Chain A
Amino acid sequence: MRGLLKGALAASVLVTLVLTGCSSPEPEEGGGAPAELVVGSTDPVPNLTPGRQSNAFGLTLSIFSPLTFLDGDGELSYLAAESVESDDQIDWTITLRDGWTFHDGTPVTAQDYVDTWNTVAYGPNAFENSGQLSVIEGYADLNPTEGEPTTDELSGLAVVDDLTFTVTLERADSQFPIELSQAQTAFYPMPQSAFDDLEAYGEQPIGNGPLMLSAAWTEGEPIVAERYADYAGDEPTVDKITWVPYTDRLTAYTDALAGNVDITWLPATRMRQVTDDFDEENIYSFAAPGISYLGIPYWDARFDDIRVRQAISMAIDREAINDALFGDLNAPATAWTPSIMPGNPDGICGEFCEYDPEAAAALLEEAGGFEGQLTLHFPGGAGHDDLYNAMANSLRQNLGIDAIAKPSVGWAEFGQDRNNQVLDGPFFSRWGALYPSQQSTLRAMFSAAPNCNNCGGEPNPDVDAALNEADATGTEDGTAYAKAQELIAEQFPIIPLFEESYSYVTSDRIAGLTASAVGEPILTQVVLAED
């Protein structure tokens, strides 16, 4: 026992030594070595099959190549596809480029696409991204509301030859080539070997992209992808990318600050201080096809008068909030879709999206004021507290009404209350489009069969007709959808708030990031700094 105290003291000294003395050697630097990137990410869910993957976008796009690709300027190019053509916007012919192979060496064929899309669309497989294929004829047969489907093949798909297949859509859709672009991963191809064991494929997918996975993925562990020598598209600028999953975005940010991570997101809580932590050239902010709104409970009669909705909109100081909460990285919305989308009718919201407290108060007065408490609802635990408290403050001060902000327990409760129409006040609403066409956002929010239940206000048959018209006659320039937005502006069903941007910080090893049209950097085209 006598030695215990001594031992304790000795051990504490040892601990101190470990803490202070011995740092391990610095990691090796490039200098002629292969170009490697370390990316801070979240752990992918639930597996890496593109038809199921919803958050490892950078990874999926590095090991797969989409049929078409939209760049940051909204220009559509053809990647794995030679062409995507139609005369009537209903029957489409997709021709693949010759000479493309999967990472297992097998050629990419039209049959692979058809088989993959059938697998993804087949209801009992329960693939999370299955809904992206719902435009294809026959989707409903594979996904009956009751019982088992009687077929496992989409009637709208037909193989013509090795490199050609045809797609028949449910209805005319002028935006189909854009829908095939990078972020709608349900349209990616899988090789025949995938269908033997989809579980195993989900751990180590074999793609047709510039990089290939060198080992199967284990949940919680880094994922490594290396250059695929026989890739038929543009050469990647990197030889190897390691995605390190972080539970907490702030930890990834701190690790980037220490130089251990080359690219990672900028967490919302650091938006205001990022310029103190990083040099200007290490901060990237890309306009994203996401937009946030304040949803209106159209089931609550107090919001029937359009002037009430407009008054609420005018009482919110978007500029000040953007500056104070988002470090000026987002942009106040001036239309119902973000301005990154081709043909977006910027400013169509007009004076009603501009801050004017006097006019707002007068408008509310004119509409007969507001009865009772106005509660702003938002999903708790997702970092929206500051924004919703700020908006409630604005409404209280500028409109003289009793406004409060109220979080739900979590996303599940919020979603359920919204879908069941029990929310008694304006609520959180947003849409992040997977392809930057106004169609994506407008259809999701405002069509008769919206993707986002109760996100976009009372369905309006005129808007629906305008959307159908634009789908049938529109082009890639997106102007055809402006008509629908005019009708929305007249009805003012919900309040546009902010156009989103996706922001990243990088280490000094990165000299340049290029954004694709969905606001994320193209990892295989990163410009590395010269050593």
Chain B
Amino acid sequence: MIRFISRRLLELVIVFFGVTFVIYCAVFVLPGDPIAALGGERPLPESVQQQLRSQYGLDLPLWQQYLNYLGGLARGDLGTTFTGQSVSEQMASRWPTTITLALTAWSLTVLISIVLGLAAGLRQGSAVDRTVLLGTIVAESVPIFVMGITAQYIFGIKLGWTPIAGVADGWPRAYILPALIIAIYGLAGVSRLMRGSVVDTMQSDFVRTLKAKGMSRRNIVGVHVMRNAAAPVVNVLAIQLGGLLGGTVVIEAIFNINGVGQLLYKAIQDQQGTLVVGVATTLVFIFLVTNVLVDVLSSVLDPRIRND
């Protein structure tokens, strides 16, 4: 077990450094000078540009910049933006909002996908089954910003049920619509997985035995099928939660939600390299850690996994 965990942690460290290096290079090797671009069409005076470049270490070679960045990272310092604000501080104030949004979206995914997966799996081949399959595919294929803008128009303006932007109205009113839209994009996969799992379990020998013994369908599904079918689904859902914490970029921008995703969106727009790298690095880290946790927990539940 300890060997398994340490192997996973070592992988995490390697992937983490690899990914941050790629992100760092992608951001800073891009053509164009981020300092000159700060002023847009109105160029900053040359002396101001020089001052800013040396202040942010942009006059150093890239490898040195990256090493400095790693040094800061080791001290828990994610650096400062080109406008002098601390990246960690900017993120800290935004985490509660993003976590609330992600947990809300994730809970909705869990609820809806289990209900849909069960409904489809128990009536394999029926109209319900086909509707769920088609519905989730169609919903998932609509671009997220189209769905966001349409939902704002229908629920915010026409019906007036939810606010259009911001989280000033608090949970759940302000979060429910963006969370639902995020959930829709996780639904198709999870509900189909759940469906397949339910179908498999329903056809398994032990279910046939239970049926033969005269156990009610309700008991079979509620107690035995659910438990067996849920295992693979729980795994996927846990990994999804890690992704959700960073995967809300577009929705946070459209709904003007003051979270980490919006920060990343703005940072990309404003070509704030350090901010992009800082936020992206943190999100990668969270995703990797979630994955390791899920692996370790699954291996506790099912020792066979450890041998892979």
Contact = CB atoms under 8 A, between A and B. Distances in A.
A254 B90 contact: no
Interface string B25-40: 0000011111011111
Contacts of B169: 24
Interface string A213-234: 0000011110000000000000
Interface string A125-164: 1111011001000000001110000000000000000000
Interface string B96-129: 0000000000011001101100100000000000
A359 interface: no
Contacts of B265: 247
Nearest to A444: B42
Contact of B152 (A24, A199, A254, A416): A254
A248 B254 contact: yes
A1 B114 CA distance: 13
B166 interface: yes
B176 A18 contact: yes
A209 interface: no
B258 A23 contact: no
Interface stretch (B3-11, B47-55, B206-214): B47-55
Contacts of A455: 41
Contacts of A412: 30-34, 36-37, 271
B83 A8 contact: no
Interface string A1-17: 11111001101100100
B262 A220 contact: yes
Given A12-B112, A126-B51, A128-B44, A411 B271 contact: yes
Interface string B265-276: 110011100000
Given A412-B34, A414-B32, A19 B111 contact: no
A12 B115 contact: yes
Given A19-B161, A251-B255, 20 more contacts: A2-B223, A8-B111, A18-B173, A18-B176, A19-B177, A19-B180, A23-B173, A43-B266, A47-B83, A123-B45, A125-B51, A130-B45, A245-B256, A252-B256, A254-B152, A411-B40, A416-B31, A416-B32, A416-B33, A432-B41
Contacts of A124: 51
Contact of B160 (A23, A54, A128, A252): A23
B163 interface: yes
A221 B33 contact: no
Interface in A32-63: 43, 45-47, 54
A144 B48 CA distance: 10
Contacts of A245: 256
B227 interface: yes
Interface string B129-168: 0000000000000000000010011011100111111100
Given A2-B219, A20-B161, A452-B43, A45 B83 contact: yes
Interface of A: 1-5, 8-9, 11-12, 15, 18-20, 22-24, 43, 45-47, 54, 123-128, 130-131, 134, 143-145, 199, 218-221, 244-248, 250-252, 254-255, 257-258, 260, 409-417, 419, 430-432, 451-453, 455
A417 B270 CA distance: 19
B84 A46 contact: yes
B149 A250 contact: yes
Contacts of A126: 48, 51-52, 55
B292 interface: no
29 contacts: A2-B223, A4-B114, A5-B114, A5-B115, A5-B222, A9-B115, A19-B155, A46-B81, A46-B83, A54-B40, A123-B48, A123-B51, A134-B45, A221-B258, A246-B165, A252-B165, A254-B165, A255-B256, A260-B164, A411-B271, A412-B30, A412-B31, A412-B33, A412-B37, A412-B271, A413-B32, A415-B33, A415-B41, A416-B33
B148 to A, nearest CB: 9
Contacts of A24: 169, 173
Contacts of A430: 41
Contacts of A46: 81-85
B307 to A, nearest CB: 29
Given A126-B55, A219-B90, A414-B32, A5 B226 contact: yes
A5 B164 CA distance: 32
Contacts of A11: 107, 111
A254 B156 contact: yes
A128 B165 contact: no
Given A15-B176, A251-B254, A411-B271, A258 B164 contact: yes
A416 B164 CA distance: 39
B165 A18 contact: no
Interface string B44-87: 11111001100100000000000000000000000001111100
A108 B43 CA distance: 31
A168 B94 CA distance: 48
A45 B44 CA distance: 14
B291 to A, nearest CB: 26
B182 interface: no
A411 B37 CA distance: 7
A15 B266 contact: no
A246 B256 CA distance: 6
Nearest to B273: A412
B165 A220 contact: no
A108 B284 CA distance: 51
Contacts of A252: 165, 256
A255 B271 CA distance: 27
Nearest to B259: A220
A415 B32 contact: yes
Interface in B240-283: 252-256, 258, 262-263, 265-266, 269-271
A130 B48 contact: yes
Contacts of A123: 45, 47-48, 51
A45 B81 CA distance: 11
A414 B44 CA distance: 16
Contacts of B255: 251
A119 B24 CA distance: 34
Nearest to A277: B157
B93 interface: yes
B153 to A, nearest CB: 7
B267 to A, nearest CB: 11
Nearest to B55: A126
A130 B43 CA distance: 11
A241 to B, nearest CB: 17
Contacts of B258: 220-221
Nearest to A12: B111
A218 B93 contact: yes
Contact of A145 (B39, B46, B223, B271): B46
B157 A258 contact: yes
Nearest to A411: B37
Interface in B159-217: 160-166, 169, 172-173, 176-177, 180
Indicate the member of B51, B107, B162 with the most A CB atoms within 10 Å: B51
A130 B47 CA distance: 10
B186 to A, nearest CB: 15
Nearest to A7: B111
Contacts of B81: 46
Nearest to A431: B41
B253 A247 contact: yes
Contact of B32 (A9, A221, A250, A411): A411
B19 interface: no
Contacts of A415: 32-33, 36-37, 41
